[in-house]
Structure 1
């Protein structure tokens, strides 16, 4: 009996919010704990795989004003792609938008901006740590610093195929995520690690981390704003119906 249902009716449609006393997705604290836990697990997996493969992804992080600037600049094409896919009326893209707003909109709308920033930073750091910092160089082996080599290309595609499969919202969404992953797997090469240090010539992991995190933060704000807008519109319609 720990579960209860709350419903509201709008023009004959009932919205049911199932609540469980132990887990309420539409609760700010629960949502944040779940999101943080997922990213911590991703980071721990990256640390474990890195230890097994003898790879230290932190050695691939060179924080400089240049790397941060490149990361911010690299967000531009991602935001352009997001804007195009978010506004097109193609049904597979509309379905992605509806699912994202339906699944994430309400809990994100309850969050403060700094909550969303925290989740975005964790996603950028932890996911890039695992996929671009461990899996991609592990698969590339000796070709990790040679982007034209077959080993690098295979690793780039293979690691991002896995990245896409772990985002199975819809097949189209998985394809989009895979393409974004390939972009992030290349963009760090604009600021390669210097000779004489660890992993010379390989991508600087800071660049995709910044790009990923900033992109996620802005996308989260859009999704949260869309959810608030829809809730406000529904509340207005409900008020009109009740006044009649």
Structure 2
């Protein structure tokens, strides 16, 4: 898969989630836009709220556990070769697309819809399980992503501002992807160079 194909696939997948979430909110009378407020405070809150999620990256990198090694091995040999075709701006676009598309669908639509029928904790749990199932890289990756989904769901529930989980998700993805793609070759155990800054 080349750069353009990856960007197109991202646009289709994440755009599809955004569209599905938006249409779902419209059909179910969920006030999506009323749940979004971009402000300096929301941006600052989002940056701070990204820090606990980054601990996941640190933990998976430093703790020698079979589940983490399985995730890292799969990322290194299957996914990162694709992402290494992207420059830093492409990674930012992919991260923003994921943050917007996935959060609008899983939190803005699904969690909000479920919260009309079940307690908030159950809505968060179900939406997070669905979020995890949408990331079936390995069973342990599913578990980690589900936990991240719970965290993002709680952020949305507590702040009542979808912009915060969108930004947290996007910033987290961008930092993690950038780190994994651009980290020094000796840490990767290979001599492959990081992508160019084109």
Q: Same fold (TM over 0.5)?
A: yes
Q: Cα distance 1:57–1:234, how it changes in 2: closer, same or farther (>3 A)?
A: closer
- Is the CA contact 1:42–1:130 (under 8 Å) kept in the aligned structure 2? yes
CA 1:139/1:227 → structure 2, altered by over 3 Å: closer, same or farther?
farther
**CA deviation after TM superposition for structure 1 residue 135, in Å:** 0.6
Structure 2 partner of 1:209: 166
User: Retained in 2: the 8 A contact 1:165–1:174?
Assistant: yes
**Alpha-carbon distance, 1:51 to partner:** 2.2
Is 1:167 the counterpart of 2:125 in the alignment?
A: no
For residue 58 of structure 1, report the CA deviation from its aligned partner.
1.9
Rg larger for: 1
Bigger drift between 206-215 and 84-93 goes to: 84-93
Q: CA deviation at 1:105?
A: 1.0
Separation of aligned partners in 2, 1:170 and 1:41 = 23
Is 1:233 the counterpart of 2:191? The answer is yes
Relative contact order, higher structure (CA 8 A, sep 6+): 2
Q: 2 CA distance for matches of 1:213 and 1:28? A: 20
Q: Give the number of aligned pairs.
A: 192
Structure 2 CA distance for aligned equivalents of residues 223 and 189 of structure 1: 30
Q: Which residue of 1 aligns with 2:59?
A: 84
Residue in structure 2 matching 1:186, options 144, 154, 162 = 154
SS of 1:233's partner is coil
TM-score (norm 2): 0.89
1:153 matches 2:153 = no
Structure 1 178/72 Cα, relative in aligned 2: closer, same or farther at 3 Å? same
> Is 1:39–2:7 an aligned residue pair?
no
Go from structure 1 to structure 2 and tell me whether the alpha carbon gap of 1:232 and 1:153 turns closer, same or farther (over 3 Å shift): closer
Q: 1:103 to 1:75 in 2, by over 3 A?
A: same
Shift of 1:82: 1.5
What is the aligned partner in structure 2 of residue 221 from structure 1? Answer: 178
Give, in whole Å, the separation in 2 of the partners of 1:153 and 1:110: 40
CA distance in 2, matches of 1:67, 1:189: 14
| Inter-CA distance 227–138: structure 2 relative to 1 (3 Å threshold) | farther
Structure 2: 5+ residue stretches without partners: 194-198
- Deviating more after overlay: 80-89 vs 155-164: 80-89
Partners of 1:101 and 1:179 in 2: how far apart? 22
Q: Distance in 1 between matches of 2:185 and 2:98?
A: 23
Q: Name the structure where strand makes up a greater proportion of residues.
A: 1
RMSD between superposed Cα atoms in Å: 2.0
Matches of 2:31 and 2:157 in 1, distance apart?
Answer: 18
List runs of 5+ in structure 1 lacking aligned partners: 1-24, 143-149, 193-202, 236-244
